[in-house]
Amino acid sequence: MLGLAVQPPVRARPGMALYPPPVATLSSNVDMFDELSRIWVVATLVQHNGDVVADRVTGSLSDSAHPMPRALSTHREQAYFCFPNLVIRCPGTYRLRITMMRMDNASHTASPVRVEEQVETVTITVADVECRQPKMTSAERSYLRALRSDGLNIPSPS
């Protein structure tokens, strides 16, 4: 099951990296470690009406599955995906849609890639006004600390 462990800020400035960066997690009741190399996610910027606006976002819009660090490990959470440098370039109201895909080598269909799940972030209002540092939950702060300890380069707030 795909979920969001860290939500992006609800307010952001155009041209500035989103902080905190969105972090998605993959949970399962069965061990998925051997499958993680075939799983990845893609982030898509969508407007309030669901229209995709790909030309308004820059940064790394995809990530492969990373095994969950020991500091965050539970029996259910198996992997995470992080988007540490996303920048929304234009003012507006948006959400990020995170789509999980899986490579199915045994598939006899035209495409060996399956879209499995999608989740959407909170609404992000991008405006050219001063934004306060976003409030994060203690769980979100813990996730970011653990990911930094795991070697992920997550920039500090601008």
4 SS3 class: strand
The average confidence (pLDDT) of the chain is 89
Mean pLDDT, residues 50-56 taken together = 95
Range of the domain at 77: 2-148
- Is the residue at 153 inside a domain? no
pLDDT at 103 over 90: no
Distance CA 123, CA 105 (A): 36
In a domain, 154, yes or no: no
Tell me the mean pLDDT in the region 49-66: 95
Q: What is the CATH number of the domain that holds 136?
A: 2.60.40.3960
Single pTM value for the model: 0.90
Note the pLDDT of residue 158: 65
- Mean pLDDT score, 2-9: 95
**Assigned domain for 155 exists:** no
The mean pLDDT of 86-100, rounded to a whole number, is 97
In a domain, 158, yes or no: no
